[in-house]
Amino acid sequence: MTRTILALVLGAAVLGACGKQEEEASPMAGMTAEEHAKMLAGGTQGTMDSSGAAVREMVHLTPAQEQTLGVIYTTVTRGSMTKTVRTVGEIGAPEPRIVDVTPKIDGFVQDLFVSYTGESVRRGQPLLTLYSPMMVAAQEELLTARRMLDRVNPDAGEPWHRAADMLAAARRRLEYWDISDEQVRAIEESGEVRKALTLVAPSGGIVLEKDVLQGQRVTEGQRLYRIADISDVWVEGDVFEQDLQFVHVGQQAHIEVSAYPGEHIMGRVSFVYPTVDERSRTNRVRITVPNPGLRLKPGMFATIFLDANIGAAALTLPLDAVIVTGTRNVVFVRESEGMLTPRAVVLGARSGDRVQILAGLEEGETVVAAANFLVDAESRLASTGGGMPGMQHTDHGSVLEPDSTPQPPMTMEHQHD
């Protein structure tokens, strides 16, 4: 038992020391990512460090040693693999459905019909009445042109056409100031100038912002209302760069909001932004979600789930079976007669506690799934000609049975040391 404990402690210490050696500069620095992957997958044993010297050797364990170290094996399998990309986002109004109400003429607000933020309006609904001396003058020009046209005989030729052109110009001027055709016809039919004319909602929706009061003087181009149609909403969140391969336009997504716990609300990816944030290494994704009953409110936070099908025949392995060194990914493959061979693998997507294997393993192979760090420590020691106490190695890396030479008992002096 004492020798086993010493073996574990020595293995952990040597693993830390060898890790520093492996992370030194390597000749792979000039390789492309594709060449690097092929190099790692090409050799069956990832046993070379940056200087070309062996750093891992094959390890042989007896059943008793496997039990003592707690070694557990797993099998490389092939099957369907899905991945869920999870992120957080914020609900907002769709930009194409947001409109600003701005007057195109100076004036004074006489009556205010929509007087608070959050009010629901329909297209064509009166918002306010605006008095403007310029608009009064434009109405007078309209009525003058109307009377002139009525007095000219249509058979008069050129005079009638000039009168008709003047009337059309007066109508257009009012239309350019957002006076509706119905209002223009009403002025012409009544023959009276209206002191104040009504501005109406250009579209239906919810008043997100209101920046006007009754009696206020407004100027040309000043925003009075911001109205948004939120029958559909946008949910935008940031996806990490490595997960972009699993996100595409048209993909189904679902969101959860704290206002409706346990309820899954479905939507679809409508846009993936073309740039990546350089600091966070994330890419923004937009999801369009139907909003019947207007239950989803702009400004709410949401959790986004995107389910991606990685493949129907993906080669997978438990993630714990892979030793990630920083320069390569290594597993220990069980060969005949308990021989464990280190092998470099190329990893793909991760899903839960499993990882996709792109190269380096075949379906049905058996690898170490637990205690692989202890096996890795022994493999490194074997490459230096040493080993854990009780493990004797040949010059070629093969392992003999544990040393059966009787050990002298530990004396009190040894214990004090």
At residue 346, the pLDDT reads 86
At residue 385, the pLDDT reads 55
Reported pTM: 0.62
Other CB atoms within a 10 A radius of the CB of residue 288 amount to 16
Under 8 Å between Cβ of 391 and 378: yes
The arithmetic mean of pLDDT across residues 386-415, rounded, is: 43
Does 129 share its domain with 242?
Answer: no
Does 131 share its domain with 211?
Answer: yes
SS3 115: coil
Does 315 share its domain with 251?
Answer: no
At residue 325, the pLDDT reads 75
Cα distance between residue 223 and residue 212, in whole Å: 8
Does 327 share its domain with 385?
Answer: yes
Phi and psi, residue 263, nearest 5°: -100, 125
Confidence of residue 328 (pLDDT cuts 50, 70, 90): confident
What are the beta bridge partners of residue 301? 90
Mean pLDDT estimate for the chain: 78
Which of 203, 225, 247 is the C-terminal boundary of a domain?
A: 225
Which of 225, 253, 288 is the C-terminal boundary of a domain?
A: 225
Report the largest interatomic distance among the alpha carbons of the chain, rounded to a whole angstrom: 134
The arithmetic mean of pLDDT across residues 317-337, rounded, is: 81
Higher pLDDT, 128 or 368: 128
Domain total in the chain: 3
At residue 315, the pLDDT reads 81
Least confident of 114-118, 229-233, 327-331, 389-393: 389-393
Q: Which residue is it, tokens 């206020």?
A: 216
Does 119 share its domain with 198?
Answer: yes
Q: Which residue is it, tokens 């390569």?
A: 328
- 221-277 pLDDT per residue, tens: 999 999 999 999 999 999 999 888 889 999 999 999 999 998 889 999 999 999 999
Higher pLDDT, 387 or 398: 387
At residue 360, the pLDDT reads 80
SS3 78: strand
Cα-trace Rg, the chain? 39
Higher pLDDT, 361 or 116: 116
Cα distance between residue 378 and residue 391, in whole Å: 9
Cα distance between residue 1 and residue 64, in whole Å: 13
Q: Tokens standing for 394? A: 């040949």
Q: Tokens standing for 105? A: 């003429």
Closest CA to 339 of 60, 68, 56, 65: 60
Does 60 share its domain with 112?
Answer: no
Does 328 share its domain with 399?
Answer: yes
At residue 181, the pLDDT reads 85
Does 354 share its domain with 252?
Answer: no
| Domain boundaries, position 346 | 2-81+311-416
Task: Give the CATH number for residue 68.
Answer: 2.40.420.20
Task: Give the CATH number for residue 289.
Answer: 2.40.30.170
Does 195 share its domain with 259?
Answer: no
Confidence of residue 356 (pLDDT cuts 50, 70, 90): confident
The arithmetic mean of pLDDT across residues 173-180, rounded, is: 84
- 81-111 pLDDT per residue, tens: 778 889 999 999 999 999 999 998 999 999 9
At residue 382, the pLDDT reads 64
Share of the chain above pLDDT 70, in %: 78
Cα distance between residue 119 and residue 205, in whole Å: 9
Q: CA-CA distances (angstroms) from residue 152 to 10, 140, 196?
A: 112, 19, 30
Note the Cα 107 to chain centre separation in Å: 47
Does 360 share its domain with 306?
Answer: no
Does 90 share its domain with 235?
Answer: yes
Higher pLDDT, 389 or 176: 176
Under 8 Å between Cβ of 97 and 226: no
Task: Give the CATH number for residue 147.
Answer: 2.40.50.100
Does 282 share its domain with 206?
Answer: no
Which of 197, 225, 253 is the C-terminal boundary of a domain?
A: 225
- Is the pLDDT at 54 greater than 60? The verdict is no
